[in-house]
Amino acid sequence: MFKFLTTSFAMFIPGIGYRNQIKGLVACSVRKNHNNKKIYFGLTWNMFVNNVSPNTLRYSEYNDKHQFDKDVFACLDEHFADRFLAPRVFVTVCQQSEGKYAAQNADELCRVIKEYYKERKKGWVVTVVLTSGAYDYKWADVVNAPLHMLSDKEADFAQSRPGKFLVTIGIIHNMTKVFIKQKFGQKKLKQAIKNIKGQKPTAIISLGGRAENDDIVFDIGVCKKIWNKTLVLREKGCNVVFVSGPRTPDEVCDFLYERCLENANMYFYNGKPLENKDGKMPEWRVYAGKYKKEFEKQNEEFGNVYPGILGKKKVFVVHTFDSFASCETATCGIPTFICRDVKIKKSKRPDCYRLADALIKGGYAMDFDDLLAQNELFIPKLRLLPSVNGLLTERVTKICLKYKKGVK
């Protein structure tokens, strides 16, 4: 028997990365044991509340607090109009793109959610904020603060408030072993797997890319360094599979695709969108290079090969350290290596350095250069990174049970 049953909801957030974090928490929290009894909370078919405009409701953009509250109430009224049961968990993300107002915006949204539940007599609600730095939250019940986003002083602040903050190595994500297995079993992917020759170890090179400014530079010079290092992997007896992401520059995709066509046991699969369907994604995140027809054919034949290809035997992953996807594979027990060849301004993006350092120091990942320095390739057994999803689910579940019992 289920001891507790509820659902989660969130305000719509334009950034797909932020939405995936929210979905990652609730989708990976379907069942969790608490005192040996089953707990359940997950997403609804339509968990995101539409906003008053295409943009996220941001408290910092309002001159009138009353109008902000009124707009949030109106969105919630519309969302709950045809719903009989009220969700008990509200999840939002501290959106770093909002700068110094990010945490305040998240906390104010949590405030209005609680006021709405009280005024509309919907009972209690647990408010959760993901991916936040240190901030004196008043209305959020649980705040996940990834350690790489905190300075030493901020880490001390968060860790001194264990009842409010859950400080973790890594971030919320939607990658699980079950998800990988499901993707690996897809018919389309099986053909792509067959194309990878032999029973050799397979290195998946997961590419990050550029940013909106020059804080992260991923150009052809960086690309050539990475390519030359992967040639060393091939010489050591590996298959090499490149997978690009939305931020990977077109010229990098084109260069690697061409080189892979010329070299045996090296493959390139495009993971960059080929069209801007929702009109909200920056144009540089949509592929506009020389091989659109070829990549369309790839997509038609194989779909998105990542993460399904992670289910292949003898696989390991190399992530460029501008990407936080290293948390995903380290949590799933896939040997994870971090490539530091991307140009990142440490003064502007210390989080990239902190995460790489924390994963390597903790034994959850290994520096790519250390792997290449081996005379004979040996993939070590690394520590399993604790699941942030699981840790946060457990924390939220305990608070839900307290609310249910009327303790809070």
Per-10-residue mean pLDDT, the chain, length 408:
65 77 67 49 66 78 93 92 87 86 95 97 94 95 94 94 94 84 88 80 95 90 97 94 95 97 95 78 86 94 90 95 93 96 93 95 97 92 91 86 73
- pLDDT at residue number 53: 66
pTM, two decimals, is 0.86
Q: What is the DSSP string of 268-319?
A: EE--S-SS-SSS-S-GGGS--STTHHHHHHHHHHH---TTGGGGSTTEEEEE
- pLDDT at residue number 118: 96
Q: Which domains does the chain have, with CATH numbers?
A: 2-169+388-405 (3.40.50), 177-372 (3.40.50)
- pLDDT at residue number 230: 97
For helices 65-80 and 102-119, give the axis angle rounded to 10 degrees: 60
Q: What is the DSSP string of 345-404?
A: -TTT-HHHHHHHHHHHHTTSSEEHHHHHT-SS---PPPPPPPPHHHHHHHHHHHHHHHHH
Residue pair 110/76 in contact by the 8 Å Cβ criterion: no
- pLDDT at residue number 304: 87
- pLDDT at residue number 114: 97
